[in-house]
Structure 1
Amino acid sequence: MNKDLEFLTRVIDEKSAKILDANDKIWEYAELAFHETKSAALLKSILKEEGFALTEGDAGIPTCFTGTFSYGTGKPVMGILGEYDALSSLSQKAADPHKEPLKEGAPGHGCGHCALGTGALAAALAVREYLIANKKDGTIIYFGCPAEEGAGSKQFMARAGMFDDVDFVYSWHPATKNAVECNHSNAIMGANFYFKGVASHAGATPYLGRSALDAVELMNVGCNYLREHMIPEARIHYAYIDAGGTAPNVVQDHATIRYEVRSPWVYQVKELFERVKNVARGASIMTDTTFECELSMAFTEYLPNNALAAVADECLQEVGAPKWDDADYRMAKEFLNTYPATTLENIKSQIIETYGEDRLEEILERPLDSEIHPFNPDKIKLTAGSTDVGDVGYAAPTLNINIATACIGNVGHSWQMVAQSCSPLAHKGLLTAAKVLALSCIRTMDRPDVIEAAKKELHKRNGGHYTCPLPDSVEPPLDTY
């Protein structure tokens, strides 16, 4: 182990009790998008205690903040992203491979953002200690980013210029494998469609009513037909937000539906979204109702910065995978076996694709990733998901790293992920991620050639400036999305 990694490892290990306690507390808080009050407060308190200067309520979002520490000239400026929001209706007991909510219908950390935020925090603390101990010029910024599972925050942060003077940014995400993320995520755009009609007695005078619920249902029919005539990589999702009441003998004079569309590139998302709006317009004409489209969220597609990826890949190889023990493997196997047969068959196919058919039984018996999968810029593949990290990647050179915190084959946004996010699996994974992020930062800060190459790559991608996919008139939808 080289001296820099040895130093960072010692710092992170010394602070591990505080970091793991923060993970478990944020896991317990399980706060939804834009309402992560206690989670943000805990992270801010640790940053302040560790000598970081704080800003709060950034980008017009109460739970958005930064923690900044500078030494010497303060150059280069390094960023690390932290998230801490949970998902609705996924409550589950910690480390328990039997489905049992702590509180029925309550939120849970089904994407592991408790670990993401605290692992990133540990990395920022370690980089600060490194700058001081080695009298190195530089600035480390911890970006507290709420609402990734909601309407997002990073596009609003980028639009506010929060990443303009940052030389490079690293992030990580809880995962089932250890690798610099080699994915191109979809761009996404979402809106609430509010339909207004006329109420009337559905039995006596239905002809006097104009049903907003009919309009919503016709919009769904239209979008179902639209699906045949869009590119196969695109997606259209919807959810009823307001069905207009519970009385069937009243013509519903109001109804709200939320639509989100995804495509590989922002320009494709914008085009598809306009087609969805046309469907809504047609539904309102057919039902003699009116509608209002409230655009609330949009993420730019994420692509890895290859210059940063080369450095982070080396650092990941040096740090290595989390050090699993027999108890960890037993726990992972218990969680893997909670999935139904059809899901397990799909998981087996994924295992064969990643590890080879000859290792299938070995992996099923010990389903935790114990190796590092090298980054290959020639094998970047499109994935269906979306993340507001993409917007950071169009504002500053940015890279995401995946570290295993759950069993191989684990399905995200599930009760299984909630349970594993407050277990030894997540604990070991987040501390490993902290070491990789910290080492990547200090390696990159000493490589002006890498920073320059990363910025050239960014300029080629964004044309010299970040363009937010949302107009300036769209504010963070703190209570409506």
Structure 2
Amino acid sequence: MRNDEQVWRLVDERRDAYAALSDKVWGTPELCYAEHRSAAEHVAMLEAEGFRVTRNVADIPTAVMGEAGEGGPVIAILGEYDALPGLAQEAGVAEKRPVPGDGNGHGCGHNLLGAGSLLAAAAVKDWLKANGLPGRVRYYGCPAEEGGAAKGFMVRAGAFDDVDIAISWHPAAFSGVNEPVSLANTRIDFSFAGRAAHAASSPHLGRSALDAVELMNVGVNYMREHMPSDARIHYAYLDAGGIAPNVVQSRTKVRYLIRARNLQELNGLVARVRKIADGAALMTETTVTTQVISAVSNLLGNTPLEAAMHDNFMRLGPPPFTDADRAFAAEIQKTLSEEDILSTYRRQGVVPERGKSLCDAIVPLGAKGAGMNGSTDVGDVSWKVPTVQARGATYAIGTPGHSWQVVAQGKNAAAHTGMVHVAKVMAGTAVDALLHPDLIARARADHQARTGGRPYQSPLPPDAKPALGMSLAE
């Protein structure tokens, strides 16, 4: 039996157990840094599999790591399990049907992401043992990808210092190697402080923090014309100062999310936004203070690892979806617009096909799509060690990310099939690296060429700490 077939069989043997793990996490959706039950389920599975478990990685209560094997190269496989607010949804129905509860839902498929990555790591663990080979496989359970930049804090704390290569994936509409394009970003809270006063009898005595934050927003909106076209700036009020219009508001807080192609461009935009905030405070005779909540680097590609992962995709073929899977996906597509569906094809750089509801082919390596204008803290891992990511087809073509439709499909048979399929790809890529030291050497050389040999520099300020207890809705 070939090595890839052997490790794929080890994946298949665990299918039901890891589908159940994914469903458990789906059923307890928890937000940024509050994934206590989800992390506990992953720890329980790591212990049942015989991994050596480390809790509280980087002093983050919901970050875990499991290691197996001895000596040799260290292969990291990254998982996530955080959810999103406002996306609670009944599973297996092709209509918007929220369920009672806290309103959270796995609208980015991280229930599948964590379980699929741990499935791959467990198969590699048993493959190493069966073949008596040196090498270590690690599963990193990474919380707070949605806004908390946990991997950045984990990298900064040294959790990846001895890793040779890192492998990950993300649920998607198509299967193939992830195009390594993302935006660096930072989240900054701007807090304005003024002076309260009676808005009718003594408005001249007040200094409005609400005026200040509104002037800041206007200034940033005018700036949009004069920044790179692929940069993004978003904001949300965390505290508008109160609900009484007859009081001059003495406090406000706004959270800004600033994105750019790379850290150099990001730093330039951040400096400009800070100047605008200072100007708004000056105009209103208020004061402004700032707190960096998170920051992530842009993704760095790795050609040798991407080629190795693509070879695994091609040997394996597309996910074996059933007619029933396709029929339900077609029902989901009826809830989508034509633009939703065409946009998915454009992002992947593949030709649209009418009537196709689920992926039935592997996206060609190097296909240039519209790129990902989002961000991920996998970017920080990719600057530290050679990193490769897969996209695994788990939902209907056209499904928007961060939507109720993702949640509705998160426990379907097609989601489980796609998760197992991509776990085989990740496990096969890890086995290739363990069997062929030259692949790791070429990956390192490629990484050094891309970084110019410069050591990783965290975009997080030295005094920044994980925002434990932070609510995305605050």
TM-score, with normalisation over the residues of structure 2?
Answer: 0.96
Cα displacement string for residues 180-225 of structure 1 (whole angstroms, at most 9, x for unaligned residues): 0123111111101111111111222221111111111111000000
For 1:422 and 1:229, how far apart are their aligned partners in 2? 44
1:123 Cα deviation after fit: 0.3
1:161 Cα deviation after fit: 1.2
1:273-352 equivalent positions in 2, closer than 5 A: 273-339=270-336, 343-348=337-342, 351=345
CA contact (8 A) 2:349 2:370 kept: no
1:26-105 equivalent positions in 2, closer than 5 A: 26-71=25-70, 74-103=71-100
Distance 1:163 1:232, change over 3 A: same
SS of the equivalent of 2:78 reads strand
1:380 Cα deviation after fit: 7.6
Q: Among 198, 222, 237, which residue is 1:201 paired with?
A: 198
1:220-231 equivalent positions in 2, closer than 5 A: 220-231=217-228
1:61 Cα deviation after fit: 1.1
CA contact (8 A) 1:76 1:139 kept: yes
1:105 Cα deviation after fit: 6.0
Distance 1:452 1:355, change over 3 A: closer
- The amino acid across from 1:392 in the alignment is V
Distance 1:220 1:124, change over 3 A: same
CA contact (8 A) 1:123 1:435 kept: yes
Cα displacement string for residues 75-117 of structure 1 (whole angstroms, at most 9, x for unaligned residues): 1110000000000111000121110111266110000000000
- Alignment of 1:411 with 2:394, yes or no, is no
CA contact (8 A) 1:181 1:304 kept: no
CA contact (8 A) 2:8 2:428 kept: no
- The amino acid across from 2:358 in the alignment is L
Question: Residue 440 of structure 2 aligns with which residue?
Answer: 451
CA-atom RMSD in angstroms: 1.6
Cα displacement string for residues 43-88 of structure 1 (whole angstroms, at most 9, x for unaligned residues): 01110111111111111211011001123xx211100000000001
1:6-17 equivalent positions in 2, closer than 5 A: 6-17=5-16
Distance 1:152 1:349, change over 3 A: closer
Question: Residue 184 of structure 1 aligns with which residue?
Answer: 181
Question: Residue 460 of structure 1 aligns with which residue?
Answer: 449
For 1:202 and 1:244, how far apart are their aligned partners in 2? 14
Cα displacement string for residues 423-468 of structure 1 (whole angstroms, at most 9, x for unaligned residues): 1121111111111110110011111111111111212233242110
- The amino acid across from 2:315 in the alignment is E
CA contact (8 A) 1:394 1:461 kept: no
1:151 Cα deviation after fit: 1.8
Question: Residue 427 of structure 1 aligns with which residue?
Answer: 416
1:7 Cα deviation after fit: 2.0
Distance 1:125 1:191, change over 3 A: same
1:386 Cα deviation after fit: 0.7
Q: Among 445, 459, 464, which residue is 1:469 paired with?
A: 459
For 2:11 and 2:94, how far apart are their aligned partners in 1? 29
SS of the equivalent of 1:172 reads strand
CA contact (8 A) 2:76 2:138 kept: yes
1:5 Cα deviation after fit: 2.8
Question: Residue 242 of structure 2 aligns with which residue?
Answer: 245
CA contact (8 A) 1:234 1:262 kept: yes
- The amino acid across from 2:409 in the alignment is Q
- The amino acid across from 1:315 in the alignment is N
CA contact (8 A) 2:78 2:141 kept: yes
For 2:445 and 2:166, how far apart are their aligned partners in 1? 15
Distance 1:393 1:354, change over 3 A: closer
Question: Residue 469 of structure 2 aligns with which residue?
Answer: 479
For 1:266 and 1:95, how far apart are their aligned partners in 2? 41
- The amino acid across from 1:466 in the alignment is Y
1:146 Cα deviation after fit: 0.4
For 2:20 and 2:177, how far apart are their aligned partners in 1? 27
- The amino acid across from 1:413 in the alignment is H
- Alignment of 1:393 with 2:382, yes or no, is yes
Q: Percent identity?
A: 43
- The amino acid across from 2:64 in the alignment is F
CA contact (8 A) 2:11 2:424 kept: yes
Cα displacement string for residues 125-182 of structure 1 (whole angstroms, at most 9, x for unaligned residues): 0000000100010000001110000221111111111111111010000000011012
SS of the equivalent of 1:131 reads helix
TM-score, with normalisation over the residues of structure 1?
Answer: 0.94
Distance 1:162 1:380, change over 3 A: farther
Distance 1:394 1:171, change over 3 A: same
1:41 Cα deviation after fit: 0.5
SS of the equivalent of 1:62 reads coil
For 2:236 and 2:75, how far apart are their aligned partners in 1? 39
- The amino acid across from 2:66 in the alignment is G
1:86-125 equivalent positions in 2, closer than 5 A: 86-103=83-100, 106-125=103-122
For 2:12 and 2:335, how far apart are their aligned partners in 1? 33
- The amino acid across from 1:212 in the alignment is A
For 2:417 and 2:194, how far apart are their aligned partners in 1? 55
SS of the equivalent of 2:384 reads coil
Count of matched residue pairs = 469
SS of the equivalent of 1:239 reads strand
Cα displacement string for residues 266-309 of structure 1 (whole angstroms, at most 9, x for unaligned residues): 11001101100111101111111111110121110013211101
CA contact (8 A) 1:459 1:465 kept: no
SS of the equivalent of 2:100 reads coil
CA contact (8 A) 1:304 1:400 kept: no
Distance 1:165 1:351, change over 3 A: closer
For 1:325 and 1:425, how far apart are their aligned partners in 2? 8
1:419 Cα deviation after fit: 0.9
